[in-house]
Amino acid sequence: MTKKSKLLYEGKAKKLYATDEKNILWVEYLNQTTALNGLRKDLIQGKGELNNQITSLVFEYLRQRGIKHHFVEKISKTEQLIQKLKIIPLEIVLRNVAAGSLSKRLNVEKGTQLSFPIVEFYLKKDLLKDPFINDEHVLMLKIANLEEINLLKKKIRKINEVLIEMFQKAKIKLIDFKLEFGKLPDGPIVLADEISPDTCRLWDEITNEHLDKDVYRYNLGNLVPVYQEVLKRLLTI
Ligand X SMILES: Nc1ncnc2c1ncn2[C@@H]1O[C@H](COP(=O)(O)OP(=O)(O)OP(=O)(O)O)[C@@H](O)[C@H]1O
> Footprint of ligand X on this chain (CB under 6 A)?
9, 11-14, 16, 25, 70, 82-85, 87, 124, 126, 180, 182, 192-193
CB of 182 to ligand X, least distance (A): 5
CB of 125 to ligand X, least distance (A): 8
- How is 128-140 classified by DSSP, letter by letter? GTS-EE-HHHHHH
**Sign of the torsion angle spanned by Cα atoms 109, 113, 115, 118:** positive
CB of 204 to ligand X, least distance (A): 26
CB of 47 to ligand X, least distance (A): 12
Nearer to ligand X (CB atom), residue 7 or residue 235: 7
Nearer to ligand X (CB atom), residue 70 or residue 233: 70
Map residue 38 onto helix, strand or coil: coil
- φ, ψ of residue 74 to 5 degrees: the values are -85, 130
Nearer to ligand X (CB atom), residue 173 or residue 176: 176
DSSP E strand stretches across the chain: 4-10, 14-19, 24-29, 32-35, 40-43, 71-74, 79-83, 86-87, 90-97, 113-123, 132-133, 172-179, 181-183, 189-191, 200-204
Nearer to ligand X (CB atom), residue 129 or residue 137: 129
Q: Which residue is nearest to ligand X (CB)?
A: 11
